[in-house]
Structure 1
């Protein structure tokens, strides 16, 4: 059964958009008041958070899981495309931080106008981001939304950005060492690149139709159904636990179509009970078509 969770995902993304816009404005004001390029860069990071939430809202409206004439397999891959766009925003943020650090070095590390109230406001921003990331991650897992999980990773990267900026500015204020926030830019960029890679690794297999379930596991479940004599050329794609498409060739112990059809229905029911939502295409074949090779080998197999 197809479950459309887009309304719930939209509610989460709207909350994230409002919070990210508020944090962007607050950080930008703090950056301009203090003269800290690091805080301005952090504000730009929050701006990409807001942009990714907006992109998520647009993507979510397109990712209808129900098939139609032009999209017989549904529209869910739009969600993965949106997640990849978020990865692009994260990469952009990492590059911007490096550029900002370079500009500060070229400017001779100008003195910062930072004190306790500004640092307290940054700490408040950090707490808001912690709450938002936790909320998006929890809802993403509950709704099985790759889009929300990707946005949660981006929000988490903003947490690390704010932590590093906060530590650097506190050191610069307390010890009068202005280069601390610039020195901390390098580990910050490494953290952002790691998050970018995590988003890519989670979504690229979905877009390129990488195997979703090992053919041996599918074969084991199918052969456990009474009446199945052989199944081969097994292929699968999709996201396990969310939506998987399975193709297989099968030989059944039946001489009439109604009985053969009932056996294939039992196979589909067993696969769905074991692997979650699946859509099976089963090709029935004569008994002399039975093969020992269970996996799909393609033209070069």
Structure 2
């Protein structure tokens, strides 16, 4: 995979998120204030947090593109994972803030939102779903954990907007037909939105932290790699195989067994052949091969 192409595509996805969320945050915030809708204002805050998240993704992607150096010989790929963690933390904080605000609403006079709030929410749902699908596709194609986390951030906004739509609609209906408890649909929706956001933040954050802590690929994920090693002439056994994710790429440490009677030079040549074979696999970035003498068990 061409790193420059990958960087440009992922960067474009981050910028789409930044611009789109700024527009939605302003639109929903203004209309939420005009329409007296707590749910819509909460949704606007959620979109505003997405802006910060997309900026974190942009910074992480740019840092991850930096080449290896003396202090970071394996590259800077984990910068994307760190960006994903930042996005998850922001999501968690926004969820807690929305929950507190929604809870306070039950102890204050409830104002029925205006109908214009419904149109703003519907527009937000459509735009956010398009952004989710676009960024999720890019994130999966270019193995960007940060971009995929940000994409799910957008999907959480879709869920929150749907909840806001139901809450606002119920509140307006309750005010129109005189059902007092329906009027509380707007703050109830805000509370439900906060639960969705916190749950998603926990899930995404846990996964990102797991990947940052030198997560080793499971056996079922390394079948192709091990087959590539076994196909190299002179490899008699794979004694150990550790493939760890380093952001969007994989670094492999392995031990192979070769004929103990061959020369050091021949063993070294086999090791180089194994490395070349593994590097041909698209997302493998670096390989460290240790040569062992083959022993029959």
The residue number in structure 1 matching 2:153 is: 154
Query: Which residue of structure 2 aligns with residue 299 of structure 1?
Result: none
Using the size of structure 2 for normalisation, the TM-score is 0.86
Partner residue, 1:282: 289
Aligned residues: 287
Instruction: Tell me the distance in 2 between the aligned counterparts of 1:275 and 1:12.
Output: 21
Q: TM-score when scaled to structure 1? A: 0.85
SS at match of 2:255: strand
CA contact (8 A) 2:32 2:117 kept: no
Larger displacement relative to structure 2 (131-140 or 76-85): 131-140
Distance in 1 (alpha carbons) for counterparts of 2:275 and 2:143: 22
Match of 2:233 among 221, 226, 248: 226
For structure 1, which runs of at least 5 residues remain unmatched after alignment? 293-301
- Structure 1 residue 243, shift from structure 2 partner: 1.9
Alpha-carbon shift at residue 83 of structure 1 (Å) = 0.2
> Which residue pairs with 1:37 in the alignment?
38
The answer to whether the Cα contact below 8 Å between 2:234 and 2:258 also exists between their aligned partners in 1 is yes
CA deviations on 1:108-165 (whole Å, 9 max, x unpaired) are: 3x222412x3321221122111111111111112222111101100011111111111
After TM superposition, give the deviation of residue 65 of structure 1 in Å.
Answer: 5.5
CA distance in structure 1 between the aligned counterparts of 2:289 and 2:2, rounded to whole angstroms = 20
The answer as to whether partners of 2:228 and 2:278 remain within 8 angstroms in 1 is yes
Correspondence list, 1:178-257, <5 A: 178-214=183-219, 217=223, 222-238=229-245, 242-253=248-259, 255-257=262-264
Kept after mapping to 2: 8 A contact 1:211/1:235: yes
Query: CA-atom RMSD, angstroms?
Result: 2.5
Higher RCO (CA 8 Å, separation ≥ 6 residues): 2
| 1:111 counterpart residue number | 111
Match of 2:101 in 1: 100
Tell me the equivalent position of 2:75: 74
Deviation at 1:94, TM superposition (A): 1.3
